[in-house]
């Protein structure tokens, strides 16, 4: 039987690795002339939640099933993140809350199903870590970061309406979900 120590190590390692990949993406994948204040807020929030979740991971003993499910979902979020990286590599997407309007509409990979697969991957990851912790103390930070991601995604959608891609984006919105795939879309 797997011990709580090994589960804590796995959850912590995947958590730190994922946050490291997110940090890498800020510098190497996303392309903005400056780092927007909103991106700084997200980065500080991610750092604080990471430290909080690490502490909770090591201080609490959640049910085995919650920890295992959380671990698997962490990996799923990480997989979606890398799928979004592959699909948008050539697009050079901007950082969250960048003041400039988008100049590219990506529709490949996970973008075929959701308009914001990066945010979806982040939400899956943080929700999975909260599940693995299995404590009410994990919920306030989770709600805070999801709220920030919703605000950022809505901001990006408003920016599309100010571009030459507005009509194409409106069509795209009818067939794809915001963060989750739209059931029955395209039929």
pLDDT at 1: 57
Which domains does the chain carry?
4-175 (1.20.120.1630)
| This prediction's pTM | 0.95
Q: What is the pLDDT of residues 107-140, one digit of tens each?
A: 999 999 999 999 999 999 999 999 999 999 999 9
Distance (Å, whole) CA 6 – CA 12: 10
d(CA 24, CA 70): 23
- The model's pLDDT over 38-70, given as tens digits with 9 standing for 90+, comes to 999 999 999 999 999 999 999 999 999 999 999
* pLDDT above 70 (res 187): no
Closest CA to 124 of 18, 9, 5: 18
């Amino acid at each position: 039987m797997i011990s709580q120590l090994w589960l804590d190590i796995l959850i912590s390692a995947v958590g730190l690795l994922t946050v490291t990949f997110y940090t890498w993406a800020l510098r190497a994948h996303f392309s903005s002339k400056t780092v927007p204040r909103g991106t700084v807020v997200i980065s500080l929030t991610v750092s604080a939640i990471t430290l909080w979740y690490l502490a909770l991971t090591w201080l609490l003993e959640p049910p085995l099933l919650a920890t295992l499910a959380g671990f698997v979902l962490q990996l799923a979020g990480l997989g979606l993140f890398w799928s979004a990286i592959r699909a948008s590599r050539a697009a050079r997407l901007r950082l969250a809350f960048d003041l400039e309007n988008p100049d590219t509409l990506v529709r490949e990979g996970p973008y075929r199903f959701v308009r914001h697969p990066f945010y979806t991957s982040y939400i899956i990851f943080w929700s999975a870590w909260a599940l693995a912790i299995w404590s009410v103390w994990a919920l306030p930070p989770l709600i805070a970061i999801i709220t920030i991601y919703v605000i950022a995604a809505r901001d990006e959608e408003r920016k599309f309406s100010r571009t030459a891609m507005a009509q194409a984006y409106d069509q795209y919105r009818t067939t794809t979900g915001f963060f989750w795939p739209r059931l029955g879309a395209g039929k």
